[in-house]
Structure 1
Amino acid sequence: MKPLKEVRWGIIGAGDVCEVKSGPALQQTEGSTIVAIMRRNAEKAKDFAERHNVPKWYNDANELINDPDVNAIYIATPPSSHEEYTLKAAAAGKPVYVEKPMARTHKECLSMVNACKEAGVPLYVAYYRRALPNFLKVKEIIDTGVIGDIRFVNIKLHKPLSPDIVGASEDPENWRIFPEVAGGGYFYDLASHQLDAMDFLFGPIEEATGYASNQAGIYPAEDITVGTFRFKNGVLGHGVWAFNTGNVSDEEVTTIVGSKGEVSFPFFGDHSVTLKIDGEKDKVFNFNISKHIQQRLIQTMVDELLGKGICVSTGVSGARTNWVMQEICKRDDR
């Protein structure tokens, strides 16, 4: 694909994620602008367009995809429609930026990757932590050997059954707890960020297994997942993702242990990184991250589309994350 002179985005599904995390970032990134948005609800589409100074709005995705003023597509819908819209955008010859998780299944991911490859257009996935300074700091610590040879990774994400989750099965807008829409439950929504970051830090996961269960029975999807995994470089990993605990068990931290020390950090809390080295005082690094949190990744993506950079979050890497989640949950690639 030839470099673009300017990236003119069309957004499919301008919902909550577009309000702060990505929409303003697409507008503020150098060489990038939003020219059209689409929502099935015409009033909401018009409202978003007016509030964000977007010149065009649609309630039909096909019209947006085929708009000649749009030369790149951002898909911000629930995962059940990611494959459909990606294939249509690729057929129209337009680069695609898709929200995470990339799709419901690994099979759908591969379909998206192949369609974009055949059309000669790039495919990116919104795993924006790959570009955040706190995760780049973690990568620096690992790559420079500060904590020695890496032994293992431990991921903890324990959340209580909060009022907004209890009764969630009666709220069709909470698509994250319906496997037919999301691929899985909160594990697919949140662990996808964590497992993709592990891919970024250590390379591909070669083997994965685990168990997923619906213990509380509050909503259709699994509410607890336990997984183990092994990277191609020999590093081992373990994770427990529980969304059914009591308040005293509320905890979220990832720890990477090496032969000389360890580094730990949250994914969904603050943006700190804590370094512990044998015989030394602990160090805490704090980072200020823009509320438009996708902007750093979007800048790398826009730079690549303009022919002056490389984006590190692609459809190929995103598909690997879906494969790992599928293996851990022991789901068929339906």
Structure 2
Amino acid sequence: MKRLRYAAFGTGYWSTLQIPAWNEVGGVELVALYNRTVAKAEKIAERYGSPKVYSDPEELFKNEQIDFADIITEVPAHESLVLLAAKYKVPVICQKPMSFDLESCKRMTETCEDAGVPLFIHENYRWQPPFRTVKKYLGAIGIPYRAHIQLCYGGAEMFTVQPFLATLKYVHHMDMGPHIFDLARFYFGEAQSIYVQTSKSVPFIEGEDMFTAMLKIGPTICICDIGNNLENRVFIEGDKGWLLLDKENVLHVNDGTQTTVIDTKTWHKYDWISDYDYNLHGGDCIQSIVSCNNHMLESLSTGKEAETTSRDNLQTMKLVFASIESTKTGQVVVL
């Protein structure tokens, strides 16, 4: 299988996780970087061996023969870069959230579809080994009636690593919301309604960082919690049994007759990840970046449809914007 040539657009914090994750996957070659601030791009180019640096994204598309573009910029730049990729018929991977505007998400999706260009969203949480193991055993408990998905976002320290998040009014609707809503959809399907309440625990940020949503998905009532002192956990009750992913990432599955215990900690610490980033994000999260990249590379190489296409992720973003509407109005939003 030939190595695919790619360019990375954006050389901020997340590029220091995304680019080495591509190196870990293998089968790709970084041939160019784009960043508005060339000096930042040059530092990343030296660190990861990119031969070219551009300050104009269209010049990159004109001059480089690439098999895909990986967009790792801040969110406001996503749409213009995706549309450029579509213009030059280059498959494109875009970080979540797709956009801060639902109509923008639709334009990105439709423009790429009209151009015949694959658009993938780098939604990695469903690729964390504990969450994927939950999906694997979900059928053992029968029809799910009640669920609780709980995620920790890292607390105040996360806003120092990503200061842009501190300026967002609806910070976790847009940052962690896509992750937790994608997990709910991954497990149960499409929601019919949503109700959200929020509060603030970090005083120096613009928005509210504590977030609870209630989703009705068919027969399932799913509570989605995001907080800064929580452990990642999942509890699901079905008509035959229940399952619990505990704070130690051990999955307990009761099928109505017996309880099976599965250790989901199937990741290791890569030598390219710093202790700081490993402890901040967790080994399961770092592993999911590698696994998500590997999945998208397989799709690019074989044509097999990926799980998190923009068309699929559009459903997640509809939930994100419905969650904002519910927060504003204090009402249940019917989808």
TM-score range with shorter-chain normalisation?
0.7 to 0.9
Pick from 1, 4, 7 the counterpart of residue 7 of structure 1. 4
Unaligned stretches of 5+ residues in structure 2:
271-285, 329-335
TM-score between both structures, scaled by the size of structure 1? 0.81
Q: Corresponding residue for 1:206?
A: 192
Pick from 233, 255, 258 the counterpart of residue 238 of structure 2. 258
TM-score between both structures, scaled by the size of structure 2? 0.81
- Checking the alignment, whether the CA contact within 8 Å between 1:153 and 1:238 is kept in structure 2 is yes
Q: How does 1:6-85 map to 2 (within 5 A)?
A: 6-20=3-17, 22-85=18-81
CA 1:264/1:81 → structure 2, altered by over 3 Å: closer, same or farther?
A: farther
- Checking the alignment, whether the CA contact within 8 Å between 1:214 and 1:224 is kept in structure 2 is yes
Unaligned stretches of 5+ residues in structure 1:
244-248
Q: Corresponding residue for 1:327?
A: 322
Which deviates more from structure 2 when the two are superposed, residues 29-38 or residues 71-80? Answer: 29-38
CA 1:28/1:67 → structure 2, altered by over 3 Å: closer, same or farther?
A: farther
- Checking the alignment, whether the CA contact within 8 Å between 2:295 and 2:306 is kept in structure 1 is yes
Pick from 131, 138, 141 the counterpart of residue 147 of structure 1. 141
SS in 2 for 1:16: coil
Q: Summarize deviations over 1:109-146 as a string: whole Å, max 9, x none.
A: 1111011011110110111233444333211211xx31
Pick from 271, 276, 280 the counterpart of residue 258 of structure 2. 280
- Checking the alignment, whether the CA contact within 8 Å between 1:211 and 1:330 is kept in structure 2 is no
Q: Summarize deviations over 1:144-196 as a string: whole Å, max 9, x none.
A: x311221122123467964x37xx6xx7951112237xxx3134212321211
SS in 1 for 2:33: strand
Q: How far, CA to CA, are the matches of 1:129 and 1:159 in structure 2?
A: 12
CA 1:253/1:54 → structure 2, altered by over 3 Å: closer, same or farther?
A: same
Q: Corresponding residue for 1:246?
A: none
Pick from 158, 166, 177 the counterpart of residue 177 of structure 1. 166
CA 1:213/1:287 → structure 2, altered by over 3 Å: closer, same or farther?
A: closer
Which deviates more from structure 2 when the two are superposed, residues 104-113 or residues 283-292? Answer: 283-292
SS in 2 for 1:205: coil
The AA in structure 2 aligned to 1:192 is P
SS in 2 for 1:138: helix
- Deviation (angstroms), 1:214: 4.8
SS in 2 for 1:37: strand
- Checking the alignment, whether the CA contact within 8 Å between 1:300 and 1:309 is kept in structure 2 is no
Equivalent residues, number: 310
SS in 1 for 2:63: coil
- Checking the alignment, whether the CA contact within 8 Å between 1:228 and 1:328 is kept in structure 2 is no
Q: Corresponding residue for 2:277?
A: none
Pick from 191, 195, 211 the counterpart of residue 181 of structure 2. 195
Asked if 1:236 corresponds to 2:225, the answer is no
CA 1:239/1:200 → structure 2, altered by over 3 Å: closer, same or farther?
A: closer
Q: How far, CA to CA, are the matches of 1:48 and 1:30 in structure 2?
A: 19
Q: How far, CA to CA, are the matches of 2:65 and 2:96 in structure 1?
A: 26
- Checking the alignment, whether the CA contact within 8 Å between 1:212 and 1:329 is kept in structure 2 is no
Q: How far, CA to CA, are the matches of 1:289 and 1:18 in structure 2?
A: 21
Q: How far, CA to CA, are the matches of 2:325 and 2:216 in structure 1?
A: 16
The AA in structure 2 aligned to 1:59 is S
- Checking the alignment, whether the CA contact within 8 Å between 2:144 and 2:219 is kept in structure 1 is no
- Checking the alignment, whether the CA contact within 8 Å between 1:187 and 1:241 is kept in structure 2 is no
Q: How far, CA to CA, are the matches of 1:48 and 1:205 in structure 2?
A: 41
- Checking the alignment, whether the CA contact within 8 Å between 2:172 and 2:209 is kept in structure 1 is yes
Q: How far, CA to CA, are the matches of 1:223 and 1:132 in structure 2?
A: 22
Q: Corresponding residue for 1:86?
A: 82
Q: How far, CA to CA, are the matches of 1:157 and 1:134 in structure 2?
A: 12
Q: How far, CA to CA, are the matches of 1:99 and 1:271 in structure 2?
A: 26
- Checking the alignment, whether the CA contact within 8 Å between 2:6 and 2:68 is kept in structure 1 is yes
Which deviates more from structure 2 when the two are superposed, residues 218-227 or residues 271-280? Answer: 271-280
Measured on the aligned residues, the alpha-carbon RMSD in Å equals: 2.8
Q: How far, CA to CA, are the matches of 1:218 and 1:125 in structure 2?
A: 30
Percent identity for Structure 1 against Structure 2: 22
Asked if 1:137 corresponds to 2:126, the answer is no
Q: How far, CA to CA, are the matches of 2:73 and 2:202 in structure 1?
A: 28
SS in 2 for 1:229: strand
- Checking the alignment, whether the CA contact within 8 Å between 2:236 and 2:244 is kept in structure 1 is yes
Q: How far, CA to CA, are the matches of 2:245 and 2:256 in structure 1?
A: 18
Q: How far, CA to CA, are the matches of 2:243 and 2:92 in structure 1?
A: 34
SS in 2 for 1:66: helix
Q: How far, CA to CA, are the matches of 2:295 and 2:241 in structure 1?
A: 32
Choose between structure 1 and 2 for higher RCO, CA contacts under 8 A separated by at least 6 residues.
1
- Deviation (angstroms), 1:241: 2.6
